[in-house]
Each structure stands twice: as C-alpha cells, then as structure tokens.
Amino acid sequence: MTPAEIRNEILDILEDIAPDEDLSGLKDEVAFRDQLELDSMDFLDIVMELRKRHRVQIPEESYGELASMQSTVTYLEPLMKDLQKA
C-alpha cells in the first residue's frame, strides 16, 4: 500500500471508531488525542482494526509510533508495503 492508501485506511478506521468526529481538518503532524475525542480503548480499537483488516501486528511497545497520522503512516508503510487494498 502507498502512504496515501494507508492514510485513507486510517481515516476509514477513525470514521468507524469515532463517527461523530469531523476528520476533514485532521492535521497529519498533530497527535490524534490532541485533535479528536479518543480514549485508550479507541486507540486499541485502531490497533485491532489494523490487525483484523490487514493482519498487521503492532507490538505494545510500538503504540507510541501511532500518535499522529504522519507517524502512523511512517510506521505502517514498511509493514503494509506489500499489501493490496482490500
């Protein structure tokens, strides 16, 4: 998957997890928690959705890499580079 496809996939997951949030103005470099009403369970839902949809395993010590859109895409790009959009 390309970085743009990964970004769109994360947006899709965020829409499912937080349907009342306006994601149109999401800033890639700002932490999700500073922009959205996400709690720790929502964050775990993101990790679980990535695992369910793409079989991407994210170890707990790497959760900090998923703080913002930019860091999430950077972290996931090598893990998802060979995956096709479902």
CATH of the domain at 35: 1.10.1200.10
Quote the CA–CA distance of 17 and 51 in Å, as a whole number: 15
Task: With respect to residue 85, please indicate whether it lies within any of the assigned structural domains.
Answer: no
For residue 50, the Cα-to-chain-centroid distance in whole angstroms is 8
Task: With respect to residue 86, please indicate whether it lies within any of the assigned structural domains.
Answer: no
Domain count, the chain: 1
Amino acid 36: pLDDT: 92
Task: With respect to residue 71, please indicate whether it lies within any of the assigned structural domains.
Answer: yes
Q: What is the mean pLDDT of each run of 10 residues along the chain (86 residues)?
A: 94 94 94 91 93 93 94 95 66
Q: Which residue range forms the structural domain that includes residue 32?
A: 3-80
* C-alpha to C-alpha distances, 9 to 14, 15, 61, 73, nearest whole angstrom: 9, 10, 22, 10
Report field, pTM of the whole predicted structure over 0.85: yes
Task: With respect to residue 23, please indicate whether it lies within any of the assigned structural domains.
Answer: yes
